[in-house]
Amino acid sequence: MSVTVLVGSQWGDEGKGKIVDILSEKYEIVTRYQGGANAGHTVELENKKYVLHLIPSGILRDDVTCVIGNGVVIDPVALLEEIKFIESCGIKVEGRLFISHNAHLIMPYHKLLDSISESGENKIGTTGRGIGPCYIDKFARKGIRIVDLLDRKILERKIRENLKEKNNLLQKVYDHAALDVDEIIKQYQEFDKAIDVYVKDTPAYLNNAIEEGKSVLLEGAQGALLDVDHGTYPYVTSSSPTSGGACTGTGIPPTKIDSVYGIVKAYTTRVGNGPFPTELLDETGDKLRNVGAEFGATTGRPRRCGWFDAFLVKYSAMINGITDVAITKLDVLSSFEEINVCTGYEIDGKLLKSFPTDVDRLSEAKPVYETLPGWNEDISTCRSYVELPEKTKAYLKFISEKSGIKLNIISVGAKRSETFFV
Ligand code: GDP
Ligand code: IMO
Ligand code: MG
């Protein structure tokens, strides 16, 4: 029985959803701990594809209980839509999904403020889901939480207080029309019944479950380089996707965490703005995007693509304390004659000793590459490490040595079956 945190090791979209689905066969509880509906986690079963935004990817296995932790910001509209979709696929949700009473609510003004700030200069390239503005209110101690939905009077008071300030901001600073406070109160008061059945004191629930010997998988969203503290600030999300965030985002203490699974894509992608040293702005990048179907699961935006960055993954392994690794999308590299791997960065001809998260320095950094021969054959039917071509094994050995990681799972296709343990 164990408690494992699963993190994205790069800039998100590493295939976390797929690996959560694989691992959750062995876990009783899967819980999200941060982010919100900015996430898009894909799970492809043999004949159906699911994209999950708020509900943990463990929902697709009948015997798994799912929890949305206190660190997640919840858009009730998106959540209820997702529950409806999952149920329409014949999957039971009630009784299997619990939501923290302390999770913060995404309000209509959060989405509006997200889009207004993205219409100016210095765009982050957010998903537009209201994530940043909601976490701003959380840390400014003005947020409205799931528990507030359960008392109509308290909810009304909090919405009125917030709207007074937000309408001032909208009208006076952004020259935008005020929002209708009564309409928002009415809309949010109607969520009480639909949400009530899911609300729980999740820190107590999770800690009791661990005490009883149950296994828990903590599903991170986004990725280490999008972490508000450890990522490429300010081109990050507004939460803590790294493993440390799993404790504050669920109420599970660090002393209860047994291992950290890092999900690592066999090359690198990024959505949104910000420096990306190994980005390929040529036909090789286009090929990675097309072969890897690198289009956002939440916004549909084309993902920026580039070579594997071992310097970045080594940094990510350090701040996350990665103990186990799943390498995903290895099949996407099958048709490349040669494959580059970045082993370090240079600025002004000098090799850097540590990964620069300062974006000005990172923008100046020139990747140092080693070129490996491609394997040029289909590996999507391989179901064990020994079946892989020698050149594929050499690539895996090289990237794991340079990144300081040990591979445990290899994924050679989007489907559940296209996976094996090393
Ligand atoms: P997440 O946000 O980390 O869960 O990743 P996304 O779901 O946003 O993006 C990963 C995409 O790659 C999804 O479309 C998956 O179905 C797909 N995928 C996952 N693993 C593999 C793999 O090993 N090979 C291929 N070709 N696709 C994969
Ligand atoms: P999953 O969980 C990739 C990126 C956005 C933008 C930045 C801030 O599917 O890996 P936000 O809306 O969070 O304020 O946007 O973070 N971003 C993601 N990129 N995968 C994600 O989630 C992401 N969630 C946010 O593109 O650059
Ligand atoms: Mg995604």
What's residue 237's pLDDT?
98
- The active-site residue, picked from 21, 41, 110, 309, is 41
DSSP per residue over 315-374, as a string? HHHHHHT--EEEEE-GGGGGG-SEEEEEEEEEETTEE-SS---SHHHHHH-EEEEEEEE-
Query: Is-catalytic flag, 110?
Result: no
- Which residues line ligand 2 at a C-beta cut-off of 6 Å? 8, 12-13, 38-41, 124-127, 129, 131-132, 221-223, 226, 237-238, 271-272, 297
Cα 81 to averaged position of ligand 2 atoms, centre (Å): 20
Determine which residue's CA is closest to atom 11 belonging to ligand 2. 126
Burial 272-306 (b: 16+ CB within 10 A, else e): bbbbbbbbbeeebbeebbebbebebbbbeeebbbb
Spans in the chain with pLDDT lower than 50: none
Q: The tokens of 208 are what?
A: 């009791």
C-beta separation of 270 from 236 below 8 A: no
pLDDT at 109: 98
Atom of ligand 1 nearest to the CA of 14: 3
Cβ of residue 145 lying under 6 Å from some atom of ligand 1: no
- Determine the distance separating the centroid of ligand 1 and the alpha carbon of 416, expressed in angstroms: 11
Ligand 2 atom nearest residue 297's Cα: 9
Distance of CA 294 from the midpoint of ligand 1 (Å): 9
> 339: buried, middle or exposed (CB in 10 Å: 19+, 13-18, 0-12)?
buried
Residue 314 in contact with ligand 1 by CB distance below 6 A: no
pLDDT at 181: 98
Q: Which of 271, 294, 328 is the pocket-test mutation for ligand 2 (most atoms within 8 Å of CB)?
A: 271
Active site residue 63: no
- Identify the residue whose C-alpha is closest to ligand 2 atom 13: 237
Ligand 2 centroid distance, CA of 183 (Å): 30
Helix (H, G, I), strand (E, B) or coil at 381: coil
Confidence at residue 122, expressed as pLDDT on a 0 to 100 scale: 86
Residue pair 356/311 in contact by the 8 Å Cβ criterion: no
Which tens digit of pLDDT belongs to each residue from 153-167? Answer: 999 999 999 999 999
Q: Is the CB of 42 under 6 A from ligand 1?
A: yes
CA 200 to chain centre: 23
Would you state the pLDDT for residue 1? 60
Q: 10 Å Cβ neighbour count for 95?
A: 9
Residue 280 CB contacts under 8 Å (≥ 6 apart), including other chains:
288, 305, 306, 307
Report if pTM > 0.85. yes
- Please tell me the distance from the alpha carbon of residue 63 to that of residue 85, in angstroms, as a whole number: 19
Please give the distance, rounded to the nearest whole angstrom, from the Cα atom of residue 157 to the centre of ligand 1: 43
Q: Locate the ligand 2 atom nearest the alpha carbon of residue 35 and give its number.
A: 13
Half-sphere exposure of 234 (CA within 13 A, CB side): 6
CA count, 13 A, side-chain hemisphere, 288: 26
Set 13, 21, 148, 331: catalytic member = 13
pLDDT value at position 421?
97
- Which tokens in the block code for residue 367? 């990747």
